[in-house]
Chains A and B, each alone.
Chain A
Amino acid sequence: MGKVDETLRKTFFEGKIVYKKDVGNNTILNITIPLGSWDILDAIVAKVLKYAKGDIVEVGMGESSIVLASRANEAGVSLYSCDLQMGGMFRVFDNPLFKNHFCYIERSEHFMEKYEGRPSVVFLDGEHKYETVKKEVDFFLSKMTPSGVMFLHDTLPKNEEQSVVDDEGISPGDVYRIRRDLELSEKVDCFTWPYSALSMGLTMVIKRNIRREYWLNETEKS
């Protein structure tokens, strides 16, 4: 975790220290959520959990984990995080963030074999490859509560270079392809924020409510 840029402190989180990390030698690093990173995720997850109670699942740990942990703790639900290393590739944290934070240090495909819950919030920011994310999307959409919301990061890379898959997994890669698939699906609504989430695209996905379909026309029902 790098130094917090003071110029970015004029945010909705101004002065709000969301996490304190012990970096040794009696030094505590204050971690804030800078402008443009996870502000939309933070705002919306709080409301989704209010109306659609359920767990949170996160594939790919990092600063987003702190936001999700904070909201899960407030709502009294569990957070399941999965990554190849604790705290994500930037090792933002070393231990679970609260009592009901369950961390799985393994690939998402192995985590999905074990997970049997029904999340109301899913956040996907793990491997930046279309094939992997597609499996995650298909799996968690089937598990998600009817009013739950799935968030996908890196769905709107800023330029063509960023849309190429790199070995480190830092570039957004071709995750944008799953966004395009979802936009064309008649089973979900899809909305992509161009700002926030480091301006790499944050897509929200919700299942169209089958409970309200009886007044649709016959074509739509089919």
Chain B
Amino acid sequence: MIYKNTKDMPSAMGFTLVTGDKREVVKCPGPRFHTWDLLQPEPIIGVRYNKMAGWAILEKQCDIILYFRPYCVVEIGAGESSKVLALAAERAGVTFHSVDIRPEKKAKYFYSHIYHNMTSEEFMDDFEDNPAIVLIDGDHHYEAAKEEFDFFFEKLVPGGVIFIHDTLPPAKELLVEPACGDVYKLRQELEKRTDEMDCFSWPYSADWMGLTQIIKKEKGRPYWEK
């Protein structure tokens, strides 16, 4: 059996390996994955993660980005990542905007956490701030993600970072909604825009679905690059 999306997979501590018709649930003692996962003879179709390790890469970088660039944080698509971003925003003393169309995702993790129960288009219509961190993990269609990226890239403070989730799915069976959709197309496009930005994709962490981070190149340092 091949799972069409991660929601159908058993919620095991550890991860589920699906290879063709064969499924093997591997229990992990702790939040750890090793490179041997990537070296299996067949592709890994489904990966469940221990939530402790879900956003580890994002979490580690947020504190540092916000220390050097203390501006607001925006998240399109609420979930486990909200807790990580909220903690970092609270520590840095900045506002955290969380946007989702699902009312059940409403949360307020600290005083300056604002939940916007609306679409990203509606949010972008009124948003005028300059964020230092943006996480795009809402609608998994290329067009929607691109619209969100273009809007926030324009607004991003120099040195700020945009994170995009679901950009490197480990199997083509995951290129469907509500799994990863075709957000990977946006990553492919951004990788070519080397004059404006740096684009880096983590294959691990973030549910193993790919976490791409983009930084805008500083305009102040081009003179020695002639």
B43/A146 in contact, CB under 8 A: no
Give every chain A residue within 8 A of B53 (Cβ-Cβ).
Answer: 50
Chain B count of residues within 8 A CB distance of the other chain? 45
A46/B60 in contact, CB under 8 A: yes
- For chain A, the bracket of interface size reads 35 or more
Give every chain B residue within 8 A of A120 (Cβ-Cβ).
Answer: 35
A220/B35 in contact, CB under 8 A: no
A176/B159 in contact, CB under 8 A: no
A184/B61 in contact, CB under 8 A: no
A53/B38 in contact, CB under 8 A: no
Give every chain B residue within 8 A of A196 (Cβ-Cβ).
Answer: 64, 68
Encode contact with A along B43-71: 1 for CB under 8 Å, 0 otherwise: 10000000001001100110110011100
B224/A206 in contact, CB under 8 A: no
Which B residues from 152 to 203 make CB contacts under 8 A with A?
158-159, 168-172, 175, 184, 188, 191, 194, 198-203
Give every chain B residue within 8 A of A102 (Cβ-Cβ).
Answer: none
A216 within 8 Å of B (CB atoms): yes
B35/A216 in contact, CB under 8 A: no
A136 within 8 Å of B (CB atoms): no
Which of A51, A176, A193 makes the CB contact (< 8 A) with B35?
A: A51
Please, which residue of chain B has its CB at the minimum distance from the CB of A36? Answer: B68
A196–B199 Cα gap in the complex (Å)? 18
Chain A min CB distance to B180 (Å): 10
Known: A176-B224, A190-B200, A212-B170. A51 touches B188 (CB 8 A): no
A39/B64 in contact, CB under 8 A: yes
A44/B201 in contact, CB under 8 A: no
Give every chain B residue within 8 A of A209 (Cβ-Cβ).
Answer: 38, 168, 203
A192 within 8 Å of B (CB atoms): yes
Q: A47-B57, A120-B35 provided; 20 other pairs, C-beta below 8 A?
A: A35-B67, A43-B60, A43-B64, A46-B60, A52-B204, A53-B34, A146-B39, A147-B38, A147-B203, A157-B224, A158-B221, A159-B224, A176-B225, A191-B213, A192-B215, A193-B215, A212-B43, A212-B169, A214-B43, A215-B172
12 A–B contact pairs at CB < 8 A? A40-B64, A43-B60, A50-B33, A53-B34, A156-B221, A160-B223, A183-B194, A190-B198, A191-B213, A192-B198, A208-B201, A211-B43
Mark A residues whose CB is within 8 Å of B.
12, 35-36, 39-40, 43-44, 46-47, 50-54, 120, 145-147, 156-160, 163, 176, 180, 183-184, 189-196, 204, 206, 208-209, 211-212, 214-216, 220
